[in-house]
Structure 1
Amino acid sequence: MNIDYKARRELLLTEIEADSVVILVGNTEKVRNKNITYNFRQDNDFYYLTGFAEPDAVAVLRPNSNQPFVLFNLPKDKAAEINFGHRCGQTMAAERYDCDAAYDIAELEQRLPELLGQRQHVYLSDELGRFEDRIFSWINQQRRGARFDETKVFRSLHSILPFIHERRIIKDDAELARIRQAVTASVDGHKTVMKQARAGINEQQLAGAFFGKVSEYGCQDVGYPTILASGNNACCLHYTENNDVLQDGQILLIDAGGDFQYYTADITRSFPVNGRFSDTQKAVYKVVLAALDNAIALVKPGTPWNHLYETAMATLAQGLIDLGILRCSMEEALEKELYKPYSIHKTGHWMGLDVHDVGRYKHHNEWKTLQANMVFTIEPGLYFPAHDNQVAPEFRGMGIRVEDDILVTADGHENLSAGAPRTVEEIEAWMAS
Structure 2
Amino acid sequence: MSNQQHHYQQRRQRLMDALGSDAAVILTAYPERTRSKNIHYRFVQDKDFYYLTGFEEPDAVALLRPGHPQSFILFSRPKDPDQETSFGARAGIEGAINDFGADAAYSLDELDVRLPELLDQRTDILLGDEQERLGHKVWQWCNYQRRNTRFDQPKVYRRLRPLAEVLHPMRVIKDEMEIGRIRHAVSASCLAHRQVITHLKPEMNEAELSSLFNLELARHGCVSDPYPNILAGGERAMCLHYDHNNQPLDAGTLLLIDAGGEYRHYAADITRTYPVSGRYTEEQAIIYDLVLDALNAAIEQAKPGTPWNRLYDTAMEVISRGLVELGILQGSWEQVLKQGSHKPFSVHKTGHWLGLDVHDVGPYQDEQGRWRPLEAGMVLTIEPGLYFGATDLRVPERWRGIAIRIEDDILITADGNQVLSKSAPKTREEIESLMS
TM-score computed with the length of structure 1 as normaliser: 0.98
Aligned to 1:393: 397
**1: CA distance, partners of 2:76 / 2:54:** 13
Aligned to 1:376: 380
Whether the aligned pair in 1 keeps the contact of 2:328 and 2:395 (CA below 8 Å) is yes
The alignment partner of 1:318 has SS state of helix
Alignment of 1:134-145 (within 5 A): 134-145=137-148
Aligned to 2:68: 65
CA displacement, residues 240-263 of structure 1 (integer Å, 9 cap, x when unaligned)? 111111010010000001000000
Which of 310, 315, 324 is matched with 2:318 structurally? Answer: 315
Unaligned runs of 5+ in 2: none
Q: CA deviation at 1:200?
A: 1.0
Q: CA deviation at 1:392?
A: 2.5
Are 1:178 and 2:181 an aligned pair? Answer: yes
Aligned to 2:309: 306
Are 1:224 and 2:227 an aligned pair? Answer: yes
Amino acid at match of 2:394: Q
Amino acid at match of 1:382: L
Q: CA deviation at 1:398?
A: 2.1
Which of 24, 28, 38 is matched with 2:27 structurally? Answer: 24
Is the deviation greater in 319-328 or in 221-230?
A: 319-328
Aligned to 1:2: 4
Aligned to 1:280: 283
CA displacement, residues 282-307 of structure 1 (integer Å, 9 cap, x when unaligned)? 00000000000000011111111111
**2: CA distance, partners of 1:160 / 1:331:** 42
Which of 321, 336, 339 is matched with 2:339 structurally? Answer: 336
CA displacement, residues 155-175 of structure 1 (integer Å, 9 cap, x when unaligned)? 111111122111111111111
Whether the aligned pair in 1 keeps the contact of 2:20 and 2:67 (CA below 8 Å) is no
Aligned to 1:416: 420
Whether the aligned pair in 2 keeps the contact of 1:228 and 1:255 (CA below 8 Å) is yes
**2: CA distance, partners of 1:395 / 1:32:** 44
Aligned to 2:155: 152
Aligned to 1:133: 136
Q: CA deviation at 1:185?
A: 0.3
The alignment partner of 2:336 has SS state of helix
Q: CA deviation at 1:394?
A: 2.9
Aligned to 2:239: 236
Amino acid at match of 1:82: T
Aligned to 2:167: 164
**2: CA distance, partners of 1:260 / 1:274:** 32
TM-score computed with the length of structure 2 as normaliser: 0.97
Aligned to 2:363: 360
Which of 246, 259, 273 is matched with 2:262 structurally? Answer: 259
**2: CA distance, partners of 1:18 / 1:29:** 33
Unaligned runs of 5+ in 1: none
Are 1:11 and 2:22 an aligned pair? Answer: no
Aligned to 1:48: 51
Q: CA deviation at 1:150?
A: 1.2
Is the deviation greater in 385-394 or in 335-344?
A: 385-394
Q: CA deviation at 1:92?
A: 1.3
The alignment partner of 2:75 has SS state of strand
**1: CA distance, partners of 2:336 / 2:132:** 45
**2: CA distance, partners of 1:88 / 1:22:** 22
Amino acid at match of 2:325: D
**2: CA distance, partners of 1:385 / 1:32:** 37
Are 1:406 and 2:406 an aligned pair? Answer: no
Aligned to 2:294: 291
**1: CA distance, partners of 2:238 / 2:148:** 60
Q: CA deviation at 1:276?
A: 0.3
The alignment partner of 1:332 has SS state of helix
Q: Percent identity?
A: 50
Q: CA deviation at 1:350?
A: 0.4
Are 1:112 and 2:106 an aligned pair? Answer: no
Whether the aligned pair in 2 keeps the contact of 1:17 and 1:121 (CA below 8 Å) is no
**2: CA distance, partners of 1:216 / 1:33:** 30
Q: CA deviation at 1:2?
A: 3.0
**2: CA distance, partners of 1:251 / 1:377:** 22
CA RMSD of aligned residues (A): 1.0
Are 1:427 and 2:407 an aligned pair? Answer: no
Size of the aligned set, in residue pairs, is 432
Q: CA deviation at 1:19?
A: 1.8
**1: CA distance, partners of 2:136 / 2:324:** 56
**2: CA distance, partners of 1:273 / 1:340:** 27
Q: CA deviation at 1:17?
A: 3.0
